[in-house]
Amino acid sequence: MNTELSDKPKIWHDKKRHLWLLGLFVPTMMFLMLPLVWAMNQAGWQTASQLPFYIGPILLYVILPALDLAVGADGQNPPDEVMAALENDKYYRYATYAYIPFQYASAVLGAYLFTASDLGWLGFDGSLGWLGKIGVAMSAATVAGVGINTAHELGHKRESLERWLAKITLAQVCYGHFYVEHNRGHHVRVATPEDPASARFGETFWEFLPRSTWGGIRSAWELEAARVRRTGKNPWNPRTWPGNDVINALAMSLLFWGVMIAVFGVALIPYVLINAFYGSSLLESVNYLEHYGLVRQKQPSGRYERCTPQHSWNSDHMVTNLFLYHLQRHSDHHANPTRRYQTLRSFDDSPNLPAGYGALIGVTYFPPVWRKLMDHRVLAHYAGDITRANISPRRREKILARYGAAAVNA
């Protein structure tokens, strides 16, 4: 009897199935801080009571890295035989849908806290000071910035509902062009010098940020304009704009923030700007670390080699996986862009980051620390031949002078 039991096939279970709901902590965290703020005010800590409003940055730069370190790697890949059933399990997509209403509820709460003249119910004497206002705006922007990852998951899907939900999610950070550029630009040009969202070896985050932002906007417009022209229409004709995915995404942002300013007043404008700039910068910091220095080599035909797991930096830390819907399993995502997050797998032969995305977002802000952490990994990935990396043109001569000997001797 024991033999019969041992011969039965093991049933695979997703050990993270219910843990995916932890991702909803992000869009609800501002609401969860309100009792703490009230309690601190009751204790007479009027200034310190504004610090919980910084829960967004605290989560990103402190809590996630600490939890990744404590919990460690994920290590679970779904086997082939469960992939189809796992892909079709609607529980997982509902977990992402649920993020969106909470995201916008947080945006409205943040706008109210930012502009309210009387917050006596929270224990404040009048309105928030700028210490609290900036914290509120940055936390709301964190919710929207992480929401870009939700939009990323939904925007790759074939269902019309999910594509529209992706655009709606991007509206808060005024980054609707990402829907076009990421799917039709980045996934085609990834890990090449032509891709604005692939960071180059030696390029700092602060150089990459404007290049990726403006390059992405320009690319999105060019891609969408070309699509419209293929239908025989003029992309500059206002009659084509409702069907233009760059224009209608921008219209969503203008409509949302126009209504918000009408309700809360022009005092909301700094809040809008922080949401747009800080929120989108979180996406760009992730873009920066995902492909830093990696490049697809050109073939004799002049075309780039096919994208493989060697062209994305991966991490498989459990906690950040849960909060970012397996975005860290980036190689599998590029190999299978329409694959849902719960079925993405971690590849042993992918280049791996020294920590989770959560821990590294803050590191990207400090170029000397980033380069000390990552440059030798890029060099090792190419067996010492730095000429095979995606090198920043501005620093190419200096980089080749520094690492050229290694390339010659490799």
pLDDT at 404: 72
3 state SS of 157: coil
Q: What is the pLDDT of residues 55-106, one digit of tens each?
A: 999 999 999 999 999 998 888 889 889 999 999 999 999 999 999 999 999 9
Nearest to 275 by CA among 206, 178, 174: 174
Sign of CA dihedral 278, 279, 283, 286: positive
Residue 143, C-beta contacts closer than 8 angstroms, at least 6 positions apart: 26, 27, 29, 30, 56, 103, 106, 107
Tokens 């980033």 locate to 370
pLDDT at 13: 85
What is the chain's pLDDT, residue by residue, as a tens digit (410 residues)? 444 444 445 678 888 999 999 999 999 999 999 999 999 999 999 899 999 999 999 999 999 999 999 998 888 889 889 999 999 999 999 999 999 999 999 999 999 999 999 999 999 999 999 999 999 999 999 999 999 999 999 999 888 899 999 999 999 999 999 999 999 999 999 999 999 999 999 999 999 999 999 999 999 999 999 999 999 999 998 888 888 999 999 999 999 999 999 999 999 999 999 999 999 999 999 999 999 999 999 888 889 999 888 999 999 899 999 999 999 998 889 888 888 999 998 887 789 999 989 899 999 999 999 999 999 999 999 999 999 999 999 999 999 998 875 544 44
Longest C-alpha distance within the chain, in Å? 76
Tokens 């942002």 locate to 253
CA pair distance 293, 374, nearest whole angstrom: 9
Nearest to 130 by CA among 144, 109, 114, 110: 114
CA pair distance 266, 256, nearest whole angstrom: 14
Q: Which residue blocks in 88-204 are alpha helix, DSSP H? A: 90-97, 99-115, 130-155, 160-171, 178-181, 187-189
Q: What is the pLDDT of residues 121-162, one digit of tens each?
A: 999 999 999 999 999 999 999 999 999 999 999 999 888 899
The answer to whether the CB of 122 falls within 8 A of the CB of 34 is yes
pLDDT at 350: 84
3 state SS of 298: strand
The DSSP bridge partners found for residue 298 are 304
Task: Copy the structure tokens of residue 122.
Answer: 């929270």
Residue 310: burial class (beta carbons within 10 Å; 0-12, 13-18, 19+):
middle
pLDDT at 402: 87
Helix (H) or strand (E) holding 85: helix 83-87
DSSP state of 60: I
pLDDT at 403: 85
Tokens 């760059």 locate to 246
pLDDT at 405: 52
pLDDT at 203: 97
